[in-house]
Amino acid sequence: MENGSQNPVSKYPEPEFPQQDQEHPGWTGPMDPPPDHGEDSYRGCGLLTDRKALVTGGDSGIGRAVALAFAREGADVLFTYVAEEADEARGTSRLVEEAGRRAVAVECDIREEEQCRQLVDRAVAEFGRIDILVNNAAYQMSQPDGISAISTEQFDRVMRTNLYGMFWLSKMALPHIPEGGSIINSASVQAYKPSPHLLDYAMTKGAIVTFTQGLAQMLAPDGIRVNAVAPGPVWTPLIPATLPDTVNFGKQAPLGRPAQPAEMAPAYVFLASPRSSYITAEIVNATGGTPLP
């Protein structure tokens, strides 16, 4: 490494990884190699001073990295988790509080409209407003046997988690997002290059891209920006919990490895900050070199 630069290929662990399987939704602790959320690397510079953020799925993975980065940039963070992830949520809260900001962890099933309404009410009660909404929570389950193996139960869960929750929260949060506010959605490389075994998940990510671009045009006159981040393969607990092959995960990316959650967080910070004031309806592709439209 010279002049502070580092080869992105070798910056983080490269496959092959040990084969590892977990029950859904997956946990950070057993993962090998352990995910990096930026605990020892992210340095804030006041880009989000005194902002108030709501992040769904903030207990682990990309959501945890985003919550940590937002806090180190000066934001207070309310984030959601599901019941099975209570221990993970405490870890995120600790990271936010160690950065000197408020952390509010809320158990919430965003598949339920009333729980989404209560979540927004809680955020407003805690913070008075919502400057940044990050719709990040998602569900996927690999089905290598094709469309016939996708049950109606699974299909409904994917749609309600990935789309209904995003729609409800965006709609309900809007009255509390001031001028200069930002909505950031988590899309995916799957929106453009769908893997057949993730058919239903990929469908939702394509819809998120369309929703992002449409809502951005709708809200532009109000001074509220709407963007999305489209990650490629990222090493999060969702991977050993939902995919059959963890040994070669991410190897297909041109950089030859999966991203770490810490590598996604700066894109969310940029889109939330005034530095992206003329950027809306944009999809920031963070795919490790996989070209997207």
pLDDT digits (tens, 9 = 90+) for 67-96: 999 999 999 999 999 999 999 999 999 999
Active-site annotation holder among 42, 139, 192, 201: 201
Structure token pair of residue 115: 């729980």
Q: For the chain, how big is the Rg over CA atoms in Å?
A: 18
Structure token pair of residue 281: 């309806």
CATH number of the domain that residue 184 is part of: 3.40.50.720
Task: Tell which wins on pLDDT, 293 or 211.
Answer: 211
The total domain count for the chain is 1
Please give the model's pTM, rounded to 2 decimal places: 0.97
Residue 25 preceded by cis peptide, ω within 30? yes
Q: What is the length of the chain?
A: 293
Asked if the structure places residue 218 within a domain, the reply is yes
Q: Is the pLDDT of residue 174 over 60?
A: yes
**């969702």: which residue's tokens?**
238
Q: What is the mean pLDDT of residues 173-194?
A: 98
Q: H or E stretch including 283?
A: strand 283-286
pLDDT digits (tens, 9 = 90+) for 20-54: 999 999 999 999 999 999 999 999 999 999 999 99
Q: What one-character-per-residue DSSP string does 72-138 give? A: HTT-EEEEEE-GGGHHHHHHHHHHHHHTTS-EEEEE--TTSHHHHHHHHHHHHHHHSS-SEEEE---
Mean per-residue pLDDT over the chain, rounded: 97
Asked if the structure places residue 160 within a domain, the reply is yes
pLDDT digits (tens, 9 = 90+) for 206-264: 999 999 999 999 999 999 999 999 999 999 999 999 999 999 999 999 999 999 999 99
Asked if the structure places residue 10 within a domain, the reply is no
Asked if the structure places residue 43 within a domain, the reply is no
Q: How confident is the model at residue 5 (pLDDT cuts 50, 70, 90)?
A: confident
Find, among 118, 122, 63, 135, the residue nearest to 96 by Cα: 63
Q: Does 201 participate in catalysis according to the annotation?
A: yes
Asked if the structure places residue 19 within a domain, the reply is no
Cβ contacts of residue 102 below 8 Å, gap of 6+? 76, 77, 96, 126
Give the domain range for residue 241: 52-286
With b for 16 or more beta-carbon neighbours within 10 A and e for fewer, the 63-73 pattern comes to bbbbbbbbbbb
**């940590």: which residue's tokens?**
68
Asked if the structure places residue 2 within a domain, the reply is no
Asked if the structure places residue 257 within a domain, the reply is yes
Asked if the structure places residue 47 within a domain, the reply is no
